[in-house]
Structure 1
Amino acid sequence: MTTKAAPQGADLVDRPAGVTTLATRVRDWAGSAPDRVAMRHKHLGIWQEVTWQSYWQTVQTVGHALLSLGIEPGDRVAIHSENRPEWLYADIATVSVRGATVGIYPTNPLAEVRYLLAHSGAKLLVAEDQEQLDKALAVVDDCPDLAYLVYLEPRGIRGRYQHPKLMSWDDLLARGRAHQAAHPDALLERMAGATPDDVATLIYTSGTTGPPKGVMLSIANVEFAIYTQASGAGFSDPPPNPDDLLLSYLPLCHVVERVFTTWFNAGLGTQANFAESIATVQTNLAEIQPTLLFSVPRIWEKILAGVQIRLANAVLPKRVLARMSLSVADWIGDTLVRTGGRHTLATRLVYAVGWVCWFRALRVRLGMRRVRGAVSGAAPIAPEVLKFFMGIGVPMYEAYGMTENAAMACSNRPGRVKLGTVGEPLSMVEVRIADDGEIQTRHGGVFAGYFGDPAATAEVLSPDGWLRTGDLGEWVDGTHVRITDRAKDIIITAGGKNIAPSEIENALKASPFLKEVVVIGDRRPYLSALVGIEYDTVAAWAQRRRLEFTTYRDLSEKPEVIELVQSAVDEVNQRFASVEQIKQFRMLPKELDHEDGELTATQKVRRSAIAERYADLVEELYSARSTR
């Protein structure tokens, strides 16, 4: 076994968290900075501020309400909502009564809602609106532990829905105020009994290969994650602090968004700003101009594609200036890649000119004027995308972690960036690569186990605390980790060649015209791919060429579009050995969708579902008549 540990790797692995919790942290901010803004959200088009004092008062009210409803230590409280202040109120209040929060993605279809509520044994559900409540009511009889249904938005519900388990958010707050008046010390007494081993949250995995598993993250795990970032071991320098602004828009059910929105906020005092919706993210970014920003590769790719569309549609003088600026950004990015992200005198001078001509206006429009640290994670990303953002002055860092280790593993850091890697192990984090290439981690953030599934826990967690991540990787220069693929995704061709599909897929998705690429080839004579277009970009391209189309499918089947995709495939094929080249491809007839079971809630492709749903296309790729 080949093993390496991070610098300072094991000295604080067993660092005790005491009784410090997310709830005590919010309480302490309310005491030390009561009038400082903790979060902001929009109401009727106007940003509303919530101070730390107001935050803590609401948490106490909700906490008392939970006590009045009989929520006991270890009970689960589910939240089925978009990101909003009430998500945090319910989350922190649940921790305050020593319960565990269970997040449910707003896009989860009915079958998954049933599974998550029943499997977790949630006692209370906070549902955002009529749509989410309807899902809960449809499955409530299958969830015997579910005793209470609380809805946030009364529209379409109040006065129309009758159910003995139903109550409004206002009703819940009224219960809390009454309980607090009658038992003023009850919540603080419950909080005082917290232990580091208390489960703070159940975060369900995305379920790419089977039913989702409930990852139990304890108070100690959460505190380790906060301490790691506060100590300066994370991606930002200085660490996240009360002067930092963050935009919350990715689902809070996901561990990394929980880190950025909830844990940074309660633990480090950052200000959380809630986007109105995923559709308004670009507008909200421009309004907030956050200082720290996390996103998944799909969002970074979409932002870049949007820049390229605007460039293509600009009037000639602006288009020429923009192309020149992009060339400058490309040169700056190339230089930063060679220097680990450190500017040289030449790049500083050239960037200063670019800033005046184009970079400043672009970054303001993108909402990245003040970003001092941006992170891409949760899935692999094409280096070309990272290089673009680095070139326009956005400090971009690819990082790596997973739900089972509280998202704490590796990160590129200021001045030590190696493109194509996920960075160095964080301090206080041990990382090793086993003989079979699997990445393994050990530290105080490694989870307590899978809820109700000790057998699955034993499969990934060794007796001495090493987490088997299921990711394959290698060391680069003895310091940085490069992920080669997921072990379960490795393709073994009919000729016996082991191929990691993600590198090929990411190279293809770097094209602004391609949104989804699924490489096929396990036990097959050659590699092929199912390809989905980036609809907005290809539609703009087609309109400039006066190609008529009606639907996504109609556009993707145009001979000119197929030629466009073929050119992207041909270009990428030149970078790979013959056995790793895409010999055939077919166009996906629709955009992949979570509700259809093709994507997870975090937008990861469910390969088995794709292979089953599009089996006819796959067979066509390998039929004797296939000649593309």
Structure 2
Amino acid sequence: MREFSVPVLVDVPLSANCTDVVFQRGVDEPAAVVIRRKEGEAPGAPWTPVTAAEFRDQVAGVAKGLIAAGVEPGDRVALMSRTRYEWTVADYAIWAAGGVGVPIYETSSADQVKWILSDSGAKAAVVELASHEDAVREAMPGLGPVWRIEGGGLDELTRLGAEVTGDTLAERRSSRGGRDLATIIYTSGTTGMPKGCRLTHDNLLFTARNVSRGPLESLFDVDGRAALLFLPLAHSFARLIQIVLIETGTVLAHTPNMKNVAPDLQAFKPTFLLGVPRVFEKVYNAAEQKATSEGKGKIFHAAVDAAIAWSRAESTGGAGLGVRLKHAMFDRLVYGKLRAATGGALSAAVSGGSALGERLGHFFRGVGIEVFEGWGLTETSAPSTVNIPGANKIGTVGKPFPGVGVRIADDGEVLVRGRHVFDGYWNNERATKEAIDPEGWFHTGDVGQLDDDGYLRITGRKKEILVTAGGKNVAPAPLEDAIRAHRLISQVMVVGDDRPFIGALVTLDPEALEQWKQANGKAEVSTSDPAIVAEVQSAVDDANRTVSKAEQIKKFLILEGDLTEESGHLTPSLKVKRNVVMRDFAKQIDELYG
């Protein structure tokens, strides 16, 4: 058993709640720009500044409307929308009215919507589109009022609350403290129906303030800092970062349409980005494919090697003259163009959700965009550990942030303790008792290792460890992460539980495949095309070199089509739903072992 903890840096008073900063900054810095709101979704649409006073007034107006509509302290209000400005306004307005926000992914199935609404006991809902309104009405006919963003719902709420006084709002807002429930976030669930995680105002504020005023302060608390959010705000990771941005006054912007991320990056010019590994993989793969199609593949790969060599050298005492000169040359030829594609100001990003991989981590740092990997779960208010500027140990998920303890159990499971650990599962005390032991340690289900400096490395999920027919324990995640780094590959799922050897199901990235076809002069290709199979085999070979012979993938099958959130095979945070894939592709898995 190993354990590492970091002392608390910011002791948040239990009287505090998540709305305090919105209303205080509206008084202290009324003219400060805190958000830039995109007018429409078109790539060239203008960005309108929103001041602290304007944001406060809009939050207050919607909160008064919720109070007038009958929302009482502790009432649950569902929020179903893409990542956009109105999501943030509604989120803080629900808190200001004393309510509890219950986010629902806008891609959720009808069964999931019904479950979340009924299990949470939601009293009302704020939705984005007419289709969302239809979904919540059909899922819960007895649901109270539903306000639609695209139908002027927030303006309607503001008009409804016109007679609610400022004193009434202040009384309602101040009635909520750290111990009160702030939100119920339903885990996206790779198995079964999602469980509702009870997170208090203290859980969220303690996490946000100890992260932003400590290890990652230089990313936020500096003039000119700006961040673009495009991950679903229904996910705890993006939600917590939103709170960090509001707490620190970092200028925030939203991109509701993932297809517009690239042009929005160039137009908004963020200094900070939040992503999951798949986002960074796609950035790398797109750059590689573009260079290859233009006949500059050799130059690009040489630049990649130089960036990685420079970053590795920086981690071990600094690069020598030869490495520095080569790095400087490629900075002019390649790296500068990559930075320009992100707006030219981006220097840092935080990645979570799964492992980024050392190669990509070193590559991006060598390019001039340092990616800090972190780790956590919804039950831990998102982060528990994070790498930090000046002490970024690439390949790990960093040290515990201030106020957090991490312990490795005898069976390798990672345990976490701190004020950021959730209040328990909603309507499921049995699951709560199973997850949090009498000493207050939350059993995460992840398997990992702590090094001598307190850095955590996640090696897999406890329940996802495969045991072959020969008795060999295999963690699928490292193999999957390595294979998915290939430019043509979208998703990978390693199989082999109770089987004679390890196999894998692989899907191709549709966009990358189109570029590959153009570069190779092919109008159409199939998954059995020898050239495609050879590309996948090379990725599998690279992954196999990182593990023992018994853990190596002996056979793989390239599936027709991709695994996506829409197909029901990925969670909104782009994790593979293993049980669903195992069920839907049982025949193909059997073919691997036939």
- Shorter-chain TM-score above 0.5: yes
The answer to whether the Cα contact below 8 Å between 1:77 and 1:94 also exists between their aligned partners in 2 is: yes
Match of 1:267 in 2: 247
Distance 1:258 1:347, change over 3 A: farther
Quote the residue 1:172 is aligned against.
157
1:267 is displaced (CA, Å) by 1.2
Q: Which residue of 1 aligns with 2:65?
A: 65
Aligned residue number for residue 254 of structure 1: 235
The correspondence for 2:311, drawn from 328, 333, 346, is 333
1:250 alignment partner, SS class: coil
Q: How big is each residue's C-alpha offset from its partner over 1:411-455, in whole Å with a ceiling of 9 and x where there is no partner?
A: 122232222211112222111111111111111111111111111
Deviations 1:332-361 (A, max 9, x none): 13323445xx67776655544433333222
Separation (CA, whole Å) in 1 of partners of 2:180 and 2:286: 45
Q: CA RMSD in A?
A: 2.0
Closer, same or farther: CA 333–251 of 1 in aligned 2, 3 Å: same
CA drift at 1:408? 2.8
Q: How does 1:181-580 map to 2 (within 5 A)?
A: 183-234=165-216, 236-237=217-218, 239-241=220-222, 243-261=224-242, 263-314=243-294, 316=295, 321-339=299-317, 350-367=326-343, 369-549=344-524, 555-580=526-551
Corresponding position of 1:588: 559
Residue equivalent to 2:587: 616
Distance in 1 (alpha carbons) for counterparts of 2:532 and 2:266: 33
Q: CA deviation at 1:319?
A: 5.5
Q: How many residue pairs were aligned? A: 590
- The 8 Å contact of residues 209 and 244 in structure 2, kept in 1 or not, is answered as no
Q: Please state how far the C-alpha of 1:576 moved relative to its aligned partner.
A: 2.2
Distance in 1, Cα, partners of 2:448 & 2:511: 34
Seen in structure 2, the aligned counterparts of structure 1 residues 265 and 412 have a Cα distance that, compared at 3 Å, is: closer
State the 1:98 CA deviation.
1.8
Q: Residues 80 and 128 of structure 1 are in contact (CA less than 8 Å); yes or no, is this contact kept in structure 2? A: yes
Distance 1:560 1:578 in 2: 26
SS in 2 for 1:538: helix
1:258, distance to aligned residue in structure 2 (A): 0.9
Matched, 1:152 2:138: no
- Residue from 25, 30, 34 that aligns with 1:38: 34
The answer on 1:136 being equivalent to 2:120 is no
Equivalent residue number for residue 162 of structure 1: none
User: Compared with structure 1, are the counterparts of its residues 570 and 363 closer, same or farther at alpha carbon in structure 2 (3 Å cutoff)?
Assistant: same
2:54 aligns to what?
Answer: 54
CA offsets 1:52-111 (integer angstroms, 9 cap, x no match):
111111111111111111111111111111112211111111111221111111111222
The superposition leaves residues 229-269 of structure 1 with CA deviations (integer Å, 9 ceiling, x where unpaired) of 233134x53654563200011000111111222x1232111
Deviates further, 273-282 or 17-26: 17-26
Matched-pair contact (CA < 8 Å) for 2:220–2:245: no
**CA distance, structure 2, for counterparts of residue 491 and residue 320 of structure 1:** 38
> Is the contact between residue 311 and residue 319 of structure 1 (CA under 8 Å) also seen in structure 2?
yes
CA offsets 1:471-499 (integer angstroms, 9 cap, x no match): 11112234211111010100011111111
Supply the distance in 2 between the matched residues of 1:598 and 1:576 (Cα, whole angstroms): 27
CA distance in 2, matches of 1:91, 1:492: 44
Q: 1:22 and 1:351 mapped to 2: Cα distance?
A: 44
**Aligned counterparts of 1:608 and 1:319: Cα–Cα separation in 2:** 39
Separation in structure 1 between the aligned mates of residue 34 and residue 544 of structure 2, nearest angstrom:
50
Secondary structure at the counterpart of residue 396 of structure 2: coil
Deviation at 1:621, TM superposition (A): 0.7
1:41–1:275 CA contact under 8 A, matched in 2: no
Structure 2 gaps, min length 5: none
Structure 1 residues 603-623: Cα deviation after superposition (integer angstroms, max 9, x where no partner): 110101101100100111111
Q: CA–CA distance in 2 between the matches of 1:454 and 1:378? A: 26
1:12 and 1:49, CA in 2 relative to 1: closer, same or farther beyond 3 A? closer
Moved more, 392-401 or 39-48: 39-48
Determine if contact 2:405/2:418 at 8 Å carries over to the other structure: yes
User: Match of 1:6?
Assistant: 5
The 5 A counterparts of 1:41-120 are: 41-44=37-40, 45-120=45-120
Q: Contact 1:244 / 1:290 at 8 angstroms: preserved in 2? A: yes
The one of 5, 13, 19 equivalent to 2:15 is 19
Q: Output the amino acid matched with 2:210.
A: T
1:160 counterpart residue number: none
For 2:263, give the aligned amino acid: T
> 2:453 and 2:303 mapped to 1: Cα distance?
36
| Secondary structure at the counterpart of residue 103 of structure 1 | strand
Q: Which runs of 5+ in 1 are unaligned?
A: 155-166, 624-628
User: Does the CA contact (< 8 Å) of 1:205 and 1:215 recur in 2?
Assistant: yes
1:570 and 1:266, CA in 2 relative to 1: closer, same or farther beyond 3 A?
A: closer
Change (3 A) 1:584 1:546: same
CA deviations on 1:300-337 (whole Å, 9 max, x unpaired) are 101101101110122x5x65654543342232133234
Inter-partner Cα distance in structure 2 for 1:230 and 1:321: 39
